[in-house]
Amino acid sequence: MVLLDDYEMEELDYASDPNHRSGYVAVLGKPNVGKSTLSNQMIGQKLSIVTDKPQTTRHRILGICSGPQYQMILYDTPGVIQKQMHKLDSMMMKNVRSAAINADCVLVIVDACKAPERIDGVWEEGVGSLKDKPPTLLVLNKKDLIKPGEIAKKLEWYEKCTDVDEVIPVSAKYGHGMEDVKDWILSKLPTGPAYYPKDIVSEHPERFFVAEIVREKIFMQFRNEVPYACQVNVVNYKSRSTAKDFIQVEIVVEKNSQKIIIIGKEGRALKLLATAARLDIEDFLQKKVYLEHDSLYFVNEKDYSPYCNSLSQQIEVKVKENWRQDERLLNYYGYGGKIRAL
């Protein structure tokens, strides 16, 4: 697995292939319709974290899918939400609009298990008042969960009642129908050289994906409001050739009560979280990392002094009240749309 920060950008000349296609694809939809699963399937590996909770994706994730004659650059975007409770929500929706407006084509993902509904809200939030609408494909996802007769009825409804260029049913989870989606995208992308080296899959640094993996484990392990109140930052990443990579992570929450839940009794919840995260991080990076299950750190050590004396400083839990409303912090955490230079 190779990421952009491992390379210097080089001038790429594909003038010898006038049919080479390159372009940007925005993946839009409401929460939990399978946008991240579809994006991961297209790219061929897991870049976007996936859980059964809405708004798991917060950032505009750029994934790059390349072949000999094409390069598709996918923006996996946060789920479109109408009711925006925090500044974080509005900044995420701004990133959705930015991705869609700058895209060469748009995929709108809907859940085949749910009753058909108009996509006006998704389209309005994603593209707004853009005069020249980009080519749009409606992807009817999760077809593996409904009967063929139901799929046919829903296809007919979406073809009649939505203003899209085409409707394709897929199962992103199992990869069914993905070649049809890929062919449609390639038919809409402009001809031109690749924007990125062909052997990279994202312009995000490895540290970004490490933080996302930890955040995924928080979503999977904890319930209710706690995962949504958490921000994960990698504060130190040392790549070592003769030893395990050394990673320090901080988890930011809004309340001390949330911090106590994340840590758990005698640090057990955080130990479980660290173990699950380390295994996935090692699988993603294809190397060993130093994020052991007993390597934890608590901000208020006096609260856990009998336990903390034997702990290394690897995962720190901090309280920053109302961080989801703090525009300065949100920009620092990367929600302003720019990729952080970590």
Confidence bin at 336 (pLDDT 50/70/90): confident
How confident is the model at residue 129, as a pLDDT? Answer: 58
- Pair 259, 285: CB distance under 8 Å: no
Q: What is the pLDDT of residue 125?
A: 67
Same domain, 72 and 175: yes
Q: Is residue 323 included in any domain, yes or no?
A: yes
**pLDDT tens digits, residue range 170-179?**
999 999 999 9
**Confidence check: pLDDT of 261 > 60:** yes
Within-domain flag for 34: yes
Q: Residues 52, 174: one domain? A: yes
Confidence band of 165 (pLDDT split at 50, 70, 90) = very high
Question: Are 69 and 180 members of one domain?
Answer: yes
Q: Where are the alpha helices (DSSP H) in the chain?
A: 35-43, 87-101, 120-126, 148-161, 178-188, 206-221, 256-263, 268-285, 305-308, 327-332
Decide if 341 is inside a domain: no
Beta-carbon-side half-sphere exposure of residue 35 (alpha carbons within 13 Å): 33
Can you give the pTM of this predicted structure? 0.83
Higher pLDDT, 88 or 132: 88
Residues 33 and 178 in one domain: yes
Which domain CATH number covers 286?
3.30.300.20
CA dihedral 50, 56, 62, 65 (to 10 degrees): 20
CATH number at residue 128: 3.40.50.300
| 264 torsion bin: left (phi>0), alpha (psi -120 to 50), beta (else) | left
Looking at the structure, do residues 56 and 161 belong to the same domain, yes or no?
yes
Range of the domain at 262: 206-332
Residues 180 and 252 in one domain: no
Specify whether 224 is located in the same domain as 108. Answer: no
Q: Where are the alpha helices (DSSP H) in 254-294?
A: 256-263, 268-285
33 pLDDT more than 90: yes
pLDDT greater than 60 at residue 338: yes
Report the mean per-residue pLDDT for the chain. 85
